């Protein structure tokens, strides 16, 4: 009994030390809302109350292929109805318009800490999808090493690592590599995006066996990047490829 009380006392001291450390960290580096970037009130852990009300979640009806929100019930959005994708299907959490500024800071202003909010939102809203797919691994969409040096981190990898912790699914960060620096995609047409991404990725030599893969990225636009990675994964492993993203634009 004395030993048990002693252990309880030690745990109490360790908890108090950790709590004090957390408080000091919060004072020196206050947590900020990932949507508006204001300092979070003490009673808010991830997002402030005002921004929580402004977030637009992707809800049904949405495209059965890419997960894009639809204005009326249909199986596919216009894009997926007229185009073959290499991936099986995917889903997203937020409508792009409600979180675009947050993603800009996440990718371009060093706000890597936003990844925890994004990963938690993915897990909480898409856990049924994750369980239904039951992927062997989570693979973050890679970025070129020059962009990695400039940014300091791969935004998709930051999300994937935390999502892996939450879901218990292994994260494979070195299997797919981006070997060619490509032009920014947002200013390109669909055909230009597809040509731009040809031979931009390869798969590291390995002896792993994969049946089901879940790609992780921050945003779905046309799906060209996810298609190209899905294509080379399917060629190599004869696997099924799905995806999850933080956000996606609206469909028609």
- Spatial separation of the C-alpha atoms in residues 32 and 39, rounded to whole Å: 4
pLDDT digit string, tens, across residues 14-51: 545 444 444 454 555 688 999 999 999 988 888 999 99
Q: What is the mean pLDDT of residues 130-156?
A: 95
Q: Where are the beta strands (DSSP E) in 35-180?
A: 89-95, 137-140, 176-178
- Spatial separation of the C-alpha atoms in residues 112 and 58, rounded to whole Å: 23
Host H or E run for residue 210: none
What's the confidence (pLDDT) of residue 132? Answer: 97
CATH of domain 56-248: 3.40.50
| Stated length of the chain | 252
What's the confidence (pLDDT) of residue 31? Answer: 87
Backbone phi, psi, residue 250, to 5°: -80, 155
Residue 133: pLDDT band by 50, 70, 90 thresholds?
very high
Q: What is the mean pLDDT of residues 202-213?
A: 91
Rg (CA), the chain: 20
pTM: 0.85
What's the confidence (pLDDT) of residue 81? Answer: 94
Q: What is the mean pLDDT of the chain?
A: 87
Nearest to 81 by CA among 65, 94, 99: 65
- Spatial separation of the C-alpha atoms in residues 8 and 17, rounded to whole Å: 14
- Spatial separation of the C-alpha atoms in residues 213 and 236, rounded to whole Å: 12
Q: 29-38, 68-77, 82-91, 103-112 — which is least confidently predicted?
A: 29-38
For the chain, give every domain's residue range.
Answer: 56-248
């Amino acid at each position: 009994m004395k030993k048990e009380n002693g252990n309880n006392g030690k745990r109490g001291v360790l908890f108090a030390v950790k709590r004090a450390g957390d408080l000091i960290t919060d004072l020196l580096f206050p947590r900020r809302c990932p949507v508006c970037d204001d300092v979070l009130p003490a009673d808010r852990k991830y997002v402030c109350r005002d921004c929580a009300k402004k977030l637009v979640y992707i809800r049904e009806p949405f495209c059965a292929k890419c997960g894009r929100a639809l204005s009326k019930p249909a199986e596919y959005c216009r894009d997926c109805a007229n185009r073959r994708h290499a991936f099986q299907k995917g889903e997203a959490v937020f409508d792009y318009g409600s979180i675009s500024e947050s993603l800009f800071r996440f990718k371009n202003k060093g706000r890597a800490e936003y990844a925890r909010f994004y990963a938690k939102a993915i897990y909480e809203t898409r856990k049924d999808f994750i369980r239904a797919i039951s992927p062997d691994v989570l693979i973050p969409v890679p970025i070129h090493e020059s962009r990695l040096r400039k940014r300091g981190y791969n935004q998709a990898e930051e999300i994937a690592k935390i999502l892996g912790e939450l879901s218990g699914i292994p994260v494979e960060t070195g299997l797919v590599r981006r070997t060619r620096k490509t032009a920014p995609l947002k200013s390109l047409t669909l055909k230009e995006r597809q040509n731009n991404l040809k031979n931009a990725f390869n798969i590291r030599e390995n002896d792993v066996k994969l049946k089901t893969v879940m790609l992780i990225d921050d945003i779905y636009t046309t799906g060209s990047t996810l298609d190209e990675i899905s294509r080379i994964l399917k060629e190599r492993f004869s696997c099924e490829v799905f995806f999850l993203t933080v956000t996606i634009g609206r469909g028609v």
